[in-house]
C-alpha cells in the first residue's frame, strides 16, 4: 500500500549508493501530503499558542459561574459563552452544541478511515458508501459552525455593559450585543478576534476538505480510480481529512474547555 512506484531499470545489485532507493517507502503524493500537513501543524500550533499567550495575559474570571457577566476586563468562562443550541432560544445548555459538532467530526473521520480501508481492498461500492457518509459529516459540521458563528455574532438577548474605545477614539460605556472584531459582549476584543481567526481558519480547511471529498466521491463513483488501478487519492484526501479532525480536537480543548 505504501509503495506504488519503483524506479524503472534499477538493478538490485547496485547497492545503497547506486540510486533508486526509496528510504521513506511512500509514494510522492503521500509524502508531499505528509509534509504539507507538517507545515499546517506548525501554522495551527502557532495560532493556538498565540491564543494561549493572549489568554494568560488577561486575568481569568474569578467569581462564581452562575452570576457570570461578560466584560472586557477579564477572559470569559467558555461554558457561559458557548451555551446555546438551535431551537432552544435563551436556554443555558453549556457546551452541548459544540460537543455535537465534535462528535460529528470524529464520526466523519471514522467513516473516512473506513473508506481508505475499502480502497485498499479495491472495493468500489464500499469506498463510495463511506465517502458519501464522510461528505455528509463534513457538510453537517460546516452547517453547525455557520449557526455557531451566527449566534456568536448576533449575541444574547441581554448583551453586556462594556466600556471601550470606539472608532472615533472616544471612551464609551454601552450595552453591546454579540461580537465583531472591535468589541464583543463576552470578553476582551482579542477573545472574539481569536475565535473568528482560529475557528474560521479551521472551517476554511473543512470547506476545502469537503470539496476534495466530493471530488474523490465523484471519481470513485464513476470508476476513475478503478481504471487507474489504485485508490491512493482516497488515501491522500483521507490524510488531510484526519488532520482537520486532529486540529479540531485541539481547538475544542483550547477554546471550549480551558
Site for other proteins in 61-100 (CB under 8 A): 77, 79, 94-95, 99
Q: Looking at 4, 20, 32, 60, which residue binds other proteins (CB under 8 A)?
A: 60
* Separation between Cα atoms, residue 111 and residue 216, nearest integer Å: 14
Stretch 129-158 residues interacting with other proteins (CB under 8 A) = none
Q: State in angstroms the smallest separation of the CB of 119 from other proteins.
A: 10
The window from 85-93, 131-139, 173-181, 236-244 that contacts other proteins (CB under 8 A) reads 236-244
Q: With respect to other proteins, which residue has the nearer C-beta, 15 or 59? A: 59
Judged by DSSP in three states, 169 sits in coil
* Site membership for other proteins, residue 31 (CB under 8 A): yes
How big is the site for other proteins, counted in residues (CB under 8 A)?
61
Q: Which stretch binds other proteins (CB under 8 A): 105-113, 132-140, 158-166, 201-209?
A: 105-113
Do 240 and 33 meet the contact criterion of CB atoms below 8 Å apart? yes
The site string for other proteins over 165-204 (x = CB under 8 A, - otherwise) reads: ----------------------------------------
* 124 touches other proteins (CB under 8 A): yes
Is 234 one of the binding residues for other proteins (CB under 8 A)?
A: no
Q: Does 53 bind other proteins (CB under 8 A)?
A: yes
Nearer to other proteins, 114 or 198 (CB): 114
List the beta bridge partners of residue 65. Answer: none
CB 92 within 8 A of CB 221: no
Distance of closest approach, residue 245 Cβ to other proteins, in angstroms = 6
- Minimum Å gap between C-beta 83 and other proteins is 12
The owner of cell 474560521 is 200
Q: Is the Cβ of residue 133 or residue 177 nearer to other proteins in the bound state?
A: 133
Question: DSSP letters of the chain?
Answer: -------TT--GGG-TTSS---TT-S-HHHHHHHHHHHHHHHHHHHHHHHHHHHHHTSPBP-S-GGG----TTSBPPHHHHS---TT-TT---TTHHHHHHHHHHHHHHHHHHHHHHHHHTT-HHHHHHHHHHHHHHHHHHHHHHHHHHHHHHH--SS-EEEEEE-TTS-EEEEEE-SB-SS-BSSS-HHHHHHHHHHHHHHHHHHHHHHHHHHHHHHHHHHTHHHHHT--HHHHHHHHHHHHHHHHHHHHIIIIII-
What does DSSP assign to residue 176?
E
Q: Under the criterion CB under 8 A, does residue 56 sit at the interface with other proteins?
A: yes
Site residues (CB under 8 A) for other proteins?
2, 23-26, 31, 34, 37-38, 41-42, 45-46, 49-50, 52-60, 77, 79, 94-95, 99, 102-103, 106-107, 109-110, 112-114, 117, 120-124, 126, 223, 226-227, 229, 238-239, 242-243, 245-246, 249-250, 252-253, 257-258
Amino acid at each position: 500500500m505504501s509503495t506504488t512506484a519503483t524506479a524503472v531499470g534499477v538493478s538490485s545489485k547496485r547497492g545503497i549508493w547506486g540510486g533508486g532507493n526509496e528510504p521513506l517507502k511512500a509514494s510522492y503524493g503521500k509524502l508531499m501530503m505528509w509534509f504539507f500537513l507538517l507545515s499546517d501543524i506548525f501554522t495551527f500550533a502557532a495560532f493556538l499558542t498565540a491564543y494561549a499567550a493572549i489568554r494568560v495575559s488577561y486575568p481569568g474570571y474569578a467569581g462564581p459561574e452562575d452570576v457570570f457577566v461578560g466584560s472586557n476586563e477579564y477572559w470569559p468562562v467558555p461554558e457561559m459563552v458557548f451555551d446555546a443550541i438551535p431551537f432552544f432560544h435563551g436556554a443555558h445548555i453549556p457546551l452541548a452544541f459544540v460537543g455535537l459538532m465534535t462528535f460529528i467530526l470524529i464520526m466523519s473521520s471514522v467513516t473516512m478511515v473506513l473508506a481508505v480501508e475499502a480502497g485498499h481492498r479495491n472495493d468500489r461500492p464500499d469506498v463510495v458508501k463511506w465517502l458519501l457518509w464522510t461528505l455528509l459529516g463534513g457538510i453537517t459540521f460546516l452547517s453547525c459552525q455557520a449557526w455557531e458563528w451566527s449566534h456568536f455574532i448576533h449575541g444574547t438577548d441581554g448583551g453586556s455593559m462594556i466600556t471601550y474605545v470606539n472608532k472615533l477614539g472616544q471612551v464609551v460605556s454601552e450595552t453591546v450585543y454579540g461580537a465583531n472584531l472591535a468589541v464583543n459582549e463576552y470578553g476582551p476584543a482579542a477573545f472574539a478576534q481569536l475565535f473568528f481567526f482560529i475557528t474560521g481558519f479551521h472551517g476554511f480547511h473543512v470547506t476545502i476538505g469537503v470539496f476534495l471529498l466530493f471530488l474523490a466521491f465523484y471519481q470513485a463513483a464513476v470508476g476513475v480510480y478503478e481504471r487507474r488501478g489504485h485508490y491512493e487519492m482516497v488515501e491522500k484526501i483521507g490524510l488531510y481529512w484526519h488532520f482537520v479532525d486532529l486540529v479540531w480536537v485541539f481547538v475544542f480543548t483550547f477554546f471550549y474547555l480551558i
